[in-house]
Structure 1
Amino acid sequence: MGKKQPKKITKSAALQKVVDERFQRKGGGILRREVWRNASGQVVAYNLAYINTRLCGVDNGRILGYDNNHGHHHRHFRGAVEDVEFTSYEDIETRFQEECYAIWQEE
């Protein structure tokens, strides 16, 4: 028996994109945030990314990212991808922000 595949999250007309932000960092790079909610107001899809092609030559320059595309919650870090435990979108957003700040301190 094969492993049960997670349900793919699609961004259909029933979803509303509530966040679509792109910020240029003074120190270089781009912060990208996209968030979709369903009719009940629940976050059902998200894409958070810190992109800096000068510092990362893989994964389209994505140094750090979190998203739930492809039917599962996962983290991108300098080309590596790993599944993450999902408790809430707010927890993922907080983790993303804390990791971005730590990376910027190293830069």
Structure 2
Amino acid sequence: MNDKRARVKFKKVVSEQFPVKPKRGGGLIKIEAWENENSEIVKYSMAYINHQIFSGDNGRVIGYDNTHSFHHRHYFGEISEVYDFVCYENLLERFEKEIKEFIK
């Protein structure tokens, strides 16, 4: 008997990468999001990557995602749960404000 589990397919709706010029701090901003059949964001990842600032966590200085079934923040290798998650758009705004600490 073949026991194949039905896999839910999500559609990638955001796939952006923004290189940061060296004079502004360098690195890369990477944002991805997937939605379900109801056009709801169900999976996301946003990160500021800069190996010159932090070499751990694949260079991720700061970021947010919801892998491992919970919303969490990466900050210099430390992971903490985002308890006040409201929606993807709200978290994206927070991320954009926070990366200004590193991008001049």
- Give the TM bin, normalised by the shorter chain: 0.7 to 0.9
- Name structure 2 gaps, 5 residues minimum: 1-6
1:55-90 superposed Cα distances (whole Å, 9 cap, x missing partner): 101111100010000110000001110000211111
Higher Cα Rg: structure 1 or 2?
Answer: 2
Q: Name 1:14's counterpart in structure 2.
A: 9
- Name structure 1 gaps, 5 residues minimum: 1-11
Cα distance, 1:13 vs structure 2:
5.3
Would you say how many aligned residue pairs link Structure 1 and Structure 2? 94
Are 1:64 and 2:59 matched, yes or no?
A: no
Q: Name 1:87's counterpart in structure 2.
A: 86
Give distance in 2, aligned partners of 1:94 and 1:102: 14
Tell me which stretches of 4 or more aligned residues in structure 1 moved more than 4 Å: none
Q: Name 2:27's counterpart in structure 1.
A: 29
Give distance in 2, aligned partners of 1:55 and 1:102: 12
Q: Name 1:96's counterpart in structure 2.
A: 95
* TM-score, normalised relative to structure 2: 0.85
Equivalent AA in structure 2 for residue 45 of structure 1:
K
Q: CA RMSD in A?
A: 1.2
User: What percentage of aligned pairs have identical amino acids?
Assistant: 40
Q: Name 2:4's counterpart in structure 1.
A: none
The secondary structure found in structure 2 opposite 1:94 is: helix
Cα distance, 1:101 vs structure 2:
1.1
